[in-house]
Structure 1
């Protein structure tokens, strides 16, 4: 049977089943990828938080708890499957969220102005990250952000409500609001986000004590060894730098001379990224159906790249947003999306396969970090340039939003 006569979505769904079966075999220990056990976060750390949360309080004495109060829902979610062990239930729920994203992208792909390419980005990009992507709750958060962007084309209030919910899971989904069209749609989305966020924040604060203790733990974080700024210290270690690597706040961080300065520079770069986004928002005029996805993708790229921490699971955020961008015809983010997919493949090499070499600042480990972080920097710059050229009047002659591609006319 030729491809033209295959049922819609059969090929991406088949590929999804095969790749996700491999991911489940990895996290279940049937298959191995390197010597590092990436499932410890679920079986030990998450399970420990689960037990604490069941007592009616957030993990106030655990500095590795660095998540907004809504993260408790993800940690407690395996209770929905009491017939399974905690870790197994968690993996099944992540699998269901993974399937939800695929379903949303395939469903959207049947609508005018949308295509199946976004589903393929998701199918391919997630397994490139290896078992880590199922052994963290970040895929669950990504599912919320994807749902927000796809629903927001027709229903800006739903986008706002989902963005607020996602922000209380892991902050970054707030950025899906940055590209909403000016005027009525912005007022609807942002007011829904404010009301939903305020209501949920109050609810979590009343639910259990310590809902916002994570803010102090985040403030005290240093420079994680996989971040952009960490590359300086990886090289400096070969030139007599007197610092060290230590497990702090749940990740491997550099400690020693110059670390505070580099951490401050990273915060400065993040502030510059925020400033650029504010300027873009003020000057942007040509909003199309794909603009919110483009803006969210660009914003998350910028803040991920400039972060003091670039954990491997962060890349799944970018894969999900890239998938939404490429779901739109004329979305214009093909090159940065491809760079993100390549970065995902390099990420699985630096963690978990060669993470020991990264920790030791060996040449191979440092090379992998240079490549991965370089790809993210390139993707950030290209995405920012493309977003600016498409939306800011006079930025580039002949480059504009797709004619007639208005939010109200897509996904009806």
Structure 2
């Protein structure tokens, strides 16, 4: 037990040291690599310190609790307001701490080989280090990990509150709610389902209510902001259009709007129309298969396996990411609480996608100009993640289809003995 605890402590320290060293190495170049996002966060923090009301007095494209990680560097400094460089230093320091807290949370998850989980977490954070501490997505990701721990240790109200706070920070955790709700519903734990739902709904509403009262109708502007966006250049759909352009099958270019590069092509409008249909279909497929698998496991062992809960949580996030019209590089941060708990082949696939994402993100100009190697790397990354979704879905479908055969064979054997 001592050796196991020592190994966990060493891995956590090593993860923090490596991420810190990489961040220090990147910092001299942060203006060219991350300047746009950090300047935007810094500007928002200054607006807040001036007493301006978000949504009403200035545009905020994020849900209201995103203001917490954005404002934290200013609040933790004795000298406020910070200038742009000092704000960037504080922002990265806060995220380094959040990454270590996430590592501690991963160590709490019951696993026969916790060192393996933390080693996977270490490798993934290192691969994503050029992006990881430079975005605010670590904050909602830590909240989703808190929600997962709430379910594992049978605190459904805590899980719901953590999920609701995550939704009020980045919206994306809402896709986890059906999976976690199914976990309790299929188990016929109606009290747990009620607590999860109550925690998620109340915490989301209470987080948003003050801003809605202050900003009025302008509060929903962050929703319409994303609704009006086109195909972001790194999305699955834009990647296919870019590949078609490289192969001479269509014309394509890119333009900057909504704070990101978006694809311009005759194919963009038809794919924008098709995208919501495929997105809804994918999510329904994931939720439907989860319900069947959970029900099968309840029948067989009267409990749902932690691995199944983790994989379907990951699938809901991956399905959301790969079929969405926007695929910002930082979206992959959302996967960190779940991927290290998978088997190593799946961890490897995600790790390669992380490495490709950081590579593509730092050659955005080449991607914007449809430079063939960048387009191929982008499509390979998207294909890897989409293939992982299909592979995981097929493995569960195969498991479902094989179980009746095993039960029939067992039944026949009992009657012939």
Q: Same fold (TM over 0.5)?
A: yes
Give 2:326's aligned residue.
309
Query: 1:37 is paired with a residue of what secondary structure?
Result: helix
Instruction: Say yes or no: does 1:279 pair with 2:274.
Output: no
Alignment partners' CA distance in 2, 1:389 and 1:301: 20
* Contiguous gaps of at least 5 residues in structure 2: 298-303, 408-417
Give 1:407's aligned residue.
none
Counterpart pick for 1:38 among 34, 57, 61: 34
Instruction: Say yes or no: does 1:300 pair with 2:305.
Output: no
Query: 2:223 is paired with a residue of what secondary structure?
Result: helix
Aligned counterparts, 1:132-211, within 5 A: 132-154=131-153, 155-177=155-177, 178-179=179-180, 180-182=183-185, 183-184=188-189, 185-206=192-213, 208=215, 210-211=218-219
Alignment partners' CA distance in 2, 1:267 and 1:18: 42
- Deviation, structure 1 residue 250: 0.9
Give 2:71's aligned residue.
76
Give 2:273's aligned residue.
264
Write out the 4+ residue segments of structure 1 that deviate beyond 6 Å after TM superposition.
none
Alignment partners' CA distance in 2, 1:316 and 1:213: 25
- The size of the alignment, in residue pairs, is 381
TM-score (norm 1): 0.84
- Deviation, structure 1 residue 266: 2.0
Q: By percentage of residues, which structure has more helix?
A: 2
Evaluate the alpha carbon distance shift between residue 128 and residue 362 of structure 1 in structure 2; reply closer, same or farther with a 3 A threshold: same
Aligned counterparts, 1:4-23, within 5 A: 7-23=6-22
Evaluate the alpha carbon distance shift between residue 37 and residue 281 of structure 1 in structure 2; reply closer, same or farther with a 3 A threshold: closer
* Contiguous gaps of at least 5 residues in structure 1: 327-332, 400-412
Counterpart pick for 1:355 among 353, 360, 364: 364
Give 2:107's aligned residue.
106
Contact kept, 8 Å, 2:254 with 2:368, in 1: the verdict is yes
- Deviation, structure 1 residue 270: 0.7
- Deviation, structure 1 residue 62: 6.5
Contact kept, 8 Å, 2:45 with 2:74, in 1: the verdict is no
Give 1:119's aligned residue.
118
Q: CA offsets, 1:221-270, max 9 Å, x none?
A: 10111111112321343437454311110110012422121122222211
Evaluate the alpha carbon distance shift between residue 305 and residue 61 of structure 1 in structure 2; reply closer, same or farther with a 3 A threshold: farther
The RMSD of aligned alpha carbons is: 2.7
Q: CA offsets, 1:2-40, max 9 Å, x none?
A: x958824133124213321223214421xx59x942243
Evaluate the alpha carbon distance shift between residue 195 and residue 20 of structure 1 in structure 2; reply closer, same or farther with a 3 A threshold: same
Alignment partners' CA distance in 2, 1:98 and 1:9: 15
Larger radius of gyration: 2
